[in-house]
A and B are shown apart, each in its own frame.
Chain A
Amino acid sequence: MMDETGNTNSDDAIAALVRLAGRREPVPEDAAARVRAAVHDEWMQTIGRRRRTRWIGSAAAVAAAAVIVVVTRMTNSAPPVAPRVVVAGGQTNGAVIYANDVYEVANGNTASLAWGNATLRLDSGTRVRIASPSELTLERGAVYVDSNGAGVLVRTPMGNVRDIGTQFEVRLTADRMRVRVRAGRVDLQRGATTNTAGPGVELDADARGGVTPHTIARNGAEWEWVLRAAPPIHLDGRTLSEVVASVTRDEGLKPVWFDETAQNAATMRLHGDVPLTPEEALDTALVASGLTSRIDGDRLIIKRRK
């Protein structure tokens, strides 16, 4: 007889053994947090060094130099009392961002950061203060968060937005805040009031405390800046399905491998040293694989090129 997980009677001994042993000794959460922060810091510096090394002399370095991103370190003259914790890293420029740094994107540019377990995109003219790997304050502009279930908090002067495993945008203007949810769910908290939004819902919050929900598309023109802000894609060594998954996630689309040719090509390993924009990477990868694609609602249909 099987239970819901396919467990058979012969597996009962495993259950008995695990119960006999009891729970493994838990590790102190505070120690785990400290070690994680320190190791993450070391890792970010390591990959930052590697990226900087790779970029020297490359055309990509020249292109990256044109992206003006200002990182302002909010340090005072007093000596630091604790090690500075790295909370995010630039995916396009190798920037290392420490706790409570202010990150500002010049008008006409965008940026993409690895932020804790989440990916953070910043639209033109955005200014954020990043407090920790899971909390930031949006001071102006717009952020798009792909949280990967990290559970992050975006503070704004007009309320706080907490995600529950989702992709969402928070956009701040002079007298309004717009929260748009692409997947999952977010809670918008303003004082004692909490408004919840699910996929395809926008919460329009005004300065007087009013919140109006609207239905919105989960892909299309309103979300295009998210893809524009994405870091370049290096095809080399990646599979077609990885490239497709990366780009469609940013576009709010679900890939559909329509025919056998497409399905077989999904695991094909790609080659190419030149960093490409996500759209270029998708087109290049599909053409190289003998495939084509079209958007149908919220699906990207991938099939054999005729």
Chain B
Amino acid sequence: MADLMTEHPDRFLAARMVRGDEAAFGEFFESNFAALFRFAMPRVGNDAAVAEEVVQAALCRAVRKLASYRGEAALLTWLCTFCRHEISAHFEKEQRVPPMVDLLDDIPEVRAALESLGAAERPEAALRRSETSRIVQLVLDRLPGRYGDALEWKYIDGLPVAEIAERLGIGVKAAESTLTRARAAFRDAFTAVYGGRWSEAEV
């Protein structure tokens, strides 16, 4: 199963969940909940209770449909689709108009780049420095597994590899490997979204 596990990790995770693998459920939730919650928050007027409600509804709907997930899009992207639907349903039910939001990841070009994490199409205009932070955070949310957490622990918290390994529940060598892969994934994803040479970003 090395092919499915390495080439389609999201499909592999979904397949494990369909088989009832409890560890897979934990991985699914830990990898996606926070990103999905942050996805929902600005779209529901930063109302945490509503965000919780729509994310819960989206995740419940998604786990019921997991057997139909084919991996055409990244798992988080797939979950975001459910979340968008639940947000719309929420505002329809409330007979309210969704807040006007101008979100970077709602711009089709940026969204496509985030979702593909590989299509290096440079946005038309240079992104402002203040938006760079937003992009970095979006990219961290979209990285596979817990790469985003690992990079934050490493570069913001300054944790040693041994402690990162402990938090990830893996050995030190595996944590080193995870960090290496996380940096590579971040570099690819950020390049895809930001365009040009990532190292020229306004840092």
Contacts and interface: CB of A to CB of B under 8 A. Distances in A.
A17 interface: yes
Interface string A132-146: 000000000000000
Contacts of A34: 52, 56
B1 A239 contact: yes
A149 B169 contact: yes
Interface in A138-193: 148-149, 165
**Which secondary structure dominates where chain B touches chain A?**
helix
24 contacts: A5-B176, A6-B176, A10-B199, A18-B156, A18-B186, A21-B133, A21-B134, A24-B34, A24-B141, A27-B38, A35-B52, A36-B33, A38-B56, A38-B60, A40-B25, A46-B63, A47-B17, A47-B20, A51-B20, A114-B22, A119-B22, A148-B23, A149-B169, A237-B1
Interface in A11-25: 11, 13-25
Contacts of A6: 176, 179-180
A50 B18 contact: yes
Contacts, number: 139
A79 interface: no
A76 B100 CA distance: 48
A89 interface: yes
B137 interface: yes
A296 interface: no
B67 to A, nearest CB: 8
Given A23-B156, A27-B34, A165-B169, A89 B59 contact: no
A166 to B, nearest CB: 12
A19 B66 CA distance: 36
Contact of B1 (A5, A22, A31, A242): A242
Interface residues of A, number: 53
Contact of A35 (B17, B41, B59, B151): B59
A232 to B, nearest CB: 12
B120 interface: no
A28 B183 contact: no
B90 interface: no
Contacts of B26: 117
A281 B67 CA distance: 25
Given A31-B52, A238-B1, 5 more contacts: A5-B161, A19-B156, A24-B137, A28-B48, A148-B22
Contact of B136 (A21, A28, A51): A21
B148 A24 contact: yes
Q: Which of A21, A46, A149 has the most CB of B within 10 A?
A: A21
Contacts of B148: 24
Contacts of A38: 56, 60
A274 interface: no
A18 B152 contact: yes
A89 B20 contact: yes
A269 interface: yes
A39 interface: yes
A114 B26 CA distance: 12
Interface of B: 1-2, 17-20, 22-23, 25-26, 29, 33-34, 37-38, 41, 48, 51-52, 55-56, 59-60, 63-64, 66-67, 132-134, 136-137, 140-141, 148, 151-152, 154-156, 161, 169, 175-176, 179-180, 183, 186-187, 190, 198-199, 201, 203
A31 B36 CA distance: 13
Nearest to A21: B136
Contacts of B176: 4-6
Nearest to A266: B2
B48 to A, nearest CB: 6
Contact of A39 (B60, B67, B198): B60
A42 interface: yes
A20 B1 contact: no
B12 to A, nearest CB: 11
Nearest to A6: B180
A90 to B, nearest CB: 10
A21 B137 contact: yes
A19 B141 CA distance: 15
A258 interface: no
A36 B59 CA distance: 9
Nearest to A240: B1
Contacts of A18: 136, 140, 151-152, 155-156, 186
